[in-house]
């Protein structure tokens, strides 16, 4: 009986993880299922400028890669607009550890983040982030491989290049 009680939360997590993964597969940016707001409305620039998760404000928003990105200030919005690739989280804001597992997509906890070599990585929660911190190079190598295969990011980049060539 004790083993069953301990197993139920783990089995529930695994089922939830994979059911979310199936629905989200293909989206380059993590916006959840019921909106088009990237990284749960958190200010991606603030991770770099304040080294913390800061909730964005919808009055400071930008549409990029088919998602709305919220910022906590006009200044952060302008920094993002000037160089979105510099500030956008890796793997479209999907959990970096999940992406390394054959391109699985999983939601994130905005508080579970790491900036490594000038890039923002988000994770499912603080526990998963612990695994990430222990072996991030391995996770990055795998996720770098799977992200363009499992999502439509290449189509979005191609569209952006074509748009810039028309200007």
Between CA 106 and CA 133 the distance in angstroms is 18
pLDDT at position 156 is 58
pTM for the full model? 0.79
Per-residue tokens: 70? 């919220």
Check if the beta carbon of residue 145 is closer than 8 Å to that of residue 129. Answer: no
Cα–Cα nearest to 132, from 95, 104, 158: 95
pLDDT digits (tens, 9 = 90+) for 11-21: 444 434 443 43
pLDDT digits (tens, 9 = 90+) for 118-149: 999 999 999 999 999 999 999 999 999 999 88
Cβ contacts of residue 67 below 8 Å, gap of 6+? 29, 31, 36, 37, 38
């Amino acid at each position: 009986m004790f083993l069953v009680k301990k197993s139920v939360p783990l089995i529930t997590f695994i089922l939830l993880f994979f059911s979310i993964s199936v629905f989200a597969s293909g989206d380059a940016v993590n916006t959840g299922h019921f909106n088009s707001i990237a990284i749960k409305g958190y200010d991606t620039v603030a991770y770099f400028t304040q080294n913390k998760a800061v909730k964005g404000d919808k009055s400071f928003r930008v549409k990029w890669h088919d998602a709305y990105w919220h910022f906590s200030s006009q200044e952060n919005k302008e920094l993002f607009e000037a160089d979105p690739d510099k500030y956008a989280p890796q793997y479209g804001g999907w959990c970096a550890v999940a992406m390394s597992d054959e391109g699985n997509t999983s939601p994130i906890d905005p508080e579970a983040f790491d900036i490594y070599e000038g890039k923002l990585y988000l994770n499912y929660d603080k526990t998963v982030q612990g695994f990430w911190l222990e072996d991030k190079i391995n996770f990055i190598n795998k996720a770098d491989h799977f992200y363009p295969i499992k999502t439509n990011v290449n189509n979005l980049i191609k569209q952006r290049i074509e748009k810039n060539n028309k200007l």
